[in-house]
Amino acid sequence: MDQQSQGRIEMACAMALAGTIGIFAYFSGQSEVSIVLWRCLLGSLVLSLVCWRRGYLAAAHFSARTMRLSLLGGAALLANWIFLFAAYRRATISISGLVYNLQPFMLAGLSAWFLHERIRRAHILWALVGLAGLAIVAATGLDQARGGEFLAGLGCAVCAAFFYALAALSAKALRGTPPHLVALIQFVAGSLVLLPFLGASLPPPRTGAIASLVTLGVVHTGLMYILLYGAFQKLNPGTAAALSFINPVVTILSEALILHRSFSGLQYVGGAIILIAILGVQVFGQGPSGLPGREQGRGRTGELDAAARSKRPSRSPVA
């Protein structure tokens, strides 16, 4: 099997796993803090073994800058997960996942602000399309019996997308550092922050709750990140972006088939518009090299263009 085929399989598996996170969170029956703590703890265990086997734990990789940016990204990742699971609880899993997938637009804006990358006109146009879809979804939620809670869930999903974009921004600033190591530092930092809540986060003695938390930590955190980073190293950004659409599709199908939930007619329309916006910015909002257009040859951003073409991961949103 060639590298491209292997990368496509890894990316497809990672996105399919990402699409079932909300279902396992639902069956765990635990709070947002509890789920995030166990994801950090178990994910740290899996990635520490991987980093040890690959020699990433050498002192040369732990510079002050790497630790500083990784810890900042870890704080953003922690907030991202807590807001995302809060959104799952208050709005539907599928709607929360669709809104969460708007994070590429936030990342583009943050990259322009902090890294001086140029925002293409297409990004702005597709962002407006995505906001229109979000407005339709929000308006239909007002007609529901729990309209206020539904809107709060949408707000949590937007916050989750914003903090994911911050975490991705910190990773972009650490080009050249093994991504598995960056994730490990972030998970360890998250574990230390939430460790005081360990006593209250112990799952009830039920097989379903324990199995769901273990699956979320080992499979949906440790294994999924390994598959995702393996795919990033083999695929070009366009292919990875196209395969990322497996995530929302699996999310919608799993919620409909397992939890027997479905959208209203207008929510389907709003969700479709959001997906079209995400597809548009990934496929039609890219520069000739398949990466977002940027100013060339200016400062640090210009110097890193060659490295970015070969190392930059896709902007696929992964919980």
Q: How would DSSP label each residue in 38-86?
A: HHHHHHHHHHHHHHHHHTTTSGGG--HHHHHHHHHHHHHHHHHHHHHHH
Of 28, 87, 21, residue with least CA distance to 213 = 28
pLDDT at 49: 94
Token pair recorded at residue 237: 């950004």
Of 93, 121, 22, residue with least CA distance to 271 = 93
In contact, 95 and 246? CB cutoff 8 Å: no
Tens-level pLDDT at each residue, the chain (319 residues): 778 888 889 989 998 999 999 999 999 989 899 999 999 999 999 999 999 999 999 888 888 888 888 888 889 989 999 999 999 988 888 888 888 877 777 777 777 777 666 767 777 787 788 778 877 777 766 555 466 788 888 899 999 989 988 888 887 777 778 888 888 998 998 898 898 888 777 777 788 889 999 999 999 999 998 898 888 778 776 677 777 778 888 888 888 889 887 777 777 788 788 878 877 766 665 544 333 343 333 343 333 333 333 344 444 556 7
Which pLDDT tens digit goes with each residue over 182-236? 889 989 988 988 988 887 777 777 888 899 999 999 999 999 988 988 887 787 7
Q: Which residue has the tokens 């000739």?
A: 288
Looking at residue 117, its amino acid is E
Token pair recorded at residue 175: 């080009």
Residue ranges per domain, the chain? 3-311
First vs last C-alpha separation in the chain: 29
Query: CA 197, 200, 204, 209: dihedral to nearest 10 degrees?
Result: -30
Task: Tell me, yes or no, if the pTM score tops 0.75.
Answer: yes
How distant, in Å, are the alpha carbons of 51, 233, 315 from that of 312?
Answer: 20, 9, 9
Angle at 98 between CA 97 and CA 104, to 5 degrees: 100
